[in-house]
Amino acid sequence: MEFENTIGLETHVQLKTKTKMFCSCLLKTGCEPNTNVCPVCLGYPGALPVMNKEAVKFTVISGMMLGCEINKHAVFDRKNYFYPDMAKDYQISENGQPLCLGGGVEITRADGTKKFIRINHIHLEEDAAKINHYATTSGVDFNRGGTPLMEIVSEPDMESADDAIAYLTALKEMLVYAGVSDCNLEEGNMRSDVNISIRPKTGERLPTKPDGSIDFSKLGTKVEIKNMNSFSGIHAALVYEAKRQRECMAHSIPLVQETRRWDPDAMETAPMRSKENAHDYRYFPEPDLVPVELSEEQIAEWRKLLPEKPELRRARMIEDYGIAEYDAEVLSQHKANADYFEAAAKVFERRDRSVASPTADAPNGDATLLSRQFDKKLCKQLCNLFMSDVMALMNASGKAIGDCAMTPAALASLVSLAAKGTINGPTLKELLPEIFEKGGDPEAIVKERGLGAVSDTGALEAFVDQAIAANPGPVADFKAGKKAAAGFFVGQVMKLSKGKADPKIVGGLVAKKLAAL
């Protein structure tokens, strides 16, 4: 029998606020354990929570980015459970009335087809503390406890591990663009619980009830894999678990609803505990917090803060700058890179004035319109330089683009100097690493050091004659039919000119001189 996967993700995203969700403790990484704590986040009896408005704002902005309906009346609940990472034995979360409902993310599969992954809801809660395991003991660090945590619950619309990674990649990109989270997986800013089940393949995608809601009873026995914090781990766990469940079915081994963990060393999942249902947590409204009441005016104010969505930015970059789709895709994956590139490309912007058509305000058509355009040839050269050399420097130095000393204007200046022939390619390659590390004005450096390209034909002809006269052996090789010897003379001229000659002009002069011998 052929089976198909049904996959849904519960993605936990730490919000980039200055303080914790219900207290004023600062959020810092790398601190000594249990130093950023107070009676509230330690769960002391009688300590009362105070809601972080910025966390509510970031959650609403995230919902807007993902096309959710914003719930103007949201209620916090107590999720009761006993575990060392939650000292007060309950977590403040949202159950029945979360901040954001619906929405979704469109993914592009490897074959180019697109699929819309729906979101069920987004709720806001406090993160648990971190348990560190040692050789013979374990310790609890409450520095993380109380961090504002947004949980994005998808519908089970994904059919493969590749779908899940495409969804998470798109989700991460949008949240980083919105500035609500760093989504740094290494620091645990973004973690996912993965739910997967299999069912006989019927061609029907997600069976529904008469009211149109998903009929979960027909989706097979669900297994949850907890706290996955790497995309590679999620992909491997889903591939393994899909195979394991199929093997169970093939050998008539019953599947049970359970929570499993991923063992990256053994590359397999292992049982943890039977899976809880919502009623096991005995949810009830948090008595120490009033409901969140949002007005239309407040929501409209926050909507103004939304950035351009990544997919729209890619399309605009292709149109404005004439760069390739692949280049726009790579540049826009990291907002800082795209921002830097666009700041540099702005140097190549021009606004053409044209006479407007007659209107009631300007009956003679004497108003002017500004047409915003870019020199696409220079923008393409800028893109090529950024995608190759600048990114190589970033990788080699371990620096993000915002950490380097080179300004966007300086990078654009290097491109302009090369395009005008003021400097040649080798000089550009020589200057770029220095300016990346130390900064500076390329035009001033070129002038100060006399690095301008030598394009005077008379001077270059003298260098060519000198190179030919000093190397009779390669001359003989050329006459014997070894045309590659011409490249040797181009290199000699570049040495004589101390790298300042224009290689294209030199190549033409060398060919002319050798042909005349």
Binning pLDDT at 50, 70 and 90, where does residue 462 land? Answer: confident
Domain extents in the chain:
3-291, 312-449, 457-515
pLDDT (0 to 100) of residue 488:
85
What does the CA dihedral 432, 437, 441, 446 come to, rounded to 10 degrees?
A: -50
Between strands 90-93 and 100-101, the pairing is unpaired
- Section 235-244 average pLDDT: 97
- Cα separation, 171 vs 107, in Å, equals 10
pLDDT at 29 over 90: no
> What's residue 373's pLDDT?
87
pLDDT tens digits, 98-110: 999 999 999 999 8
Model pLDDT, residue 372: 66
Q: Using 50, 70 and 90 to split pLDDT, how confident is the model at 180?
A: very high
Give the DSSP H or E segment for 195.
Answer: strand 190-200
Flag whether pLDDT at 321 surpasses 80: yes
- For the 457-515 domain, the top CATH level (class) is mainly alpha
Q: What is the pLDDT of residue 94?
A: 97
* Rounded Cα–Cα distance for residues 258 and 273 (Å): 6
The pLDDT of residue 483 is 75
Distance CA 395, CA 341 (A): 17
pLDDT over 80 (residue 259): yes
Confidence check: pLDDT of 367 > 80: no
Torsion-angle region of 127 (φ positive above 0: left; ψ -120 to 50: alpha; else: beta): beta
Does the structure show a pLDDT above 90 at 230? yes
Which residues have C-beta within 8 Å of that of residue 411, sequence separation ≥ 6?
Answer: 344, 382, 385, 386, 390
Decide if pLDDT at 439 tops 80. Answer: yes
3-class SS of residue 455:
coil
**Element spanning 47, H or E:** none
Q: Supply the pLDDT for residue 19.
A: 98
Residue 120 predicted with pLDDT over 80: yes
Positions of E strands within 266-395:
268-274, 284-285, 292-293, 349-355, 368-374
- pLDDT tens per residue across span 188-215: 899 999 999 999 987 777 888 888 788 8
Please report which confidence band the pLDDT of residue 26 belongs to, taking 50, 70 and 90 as the band edges.
very high
pTM over 0.85: no
Average pLDDT estimate for 252-265: 93
Residue 352 confidence (pLDDT): 59
pLDDT at 458: 64
Q: What is the pLDDT of residue 227?
A: 86
Provide mean pLDDT across the span 479-505.
75
Assign 481 a pLDDT band (cuts: 50, 70, 90): confident
Of the pLDDT bands very low, low, confident and very high (cuts 50, 70, 90), residue 364 is low
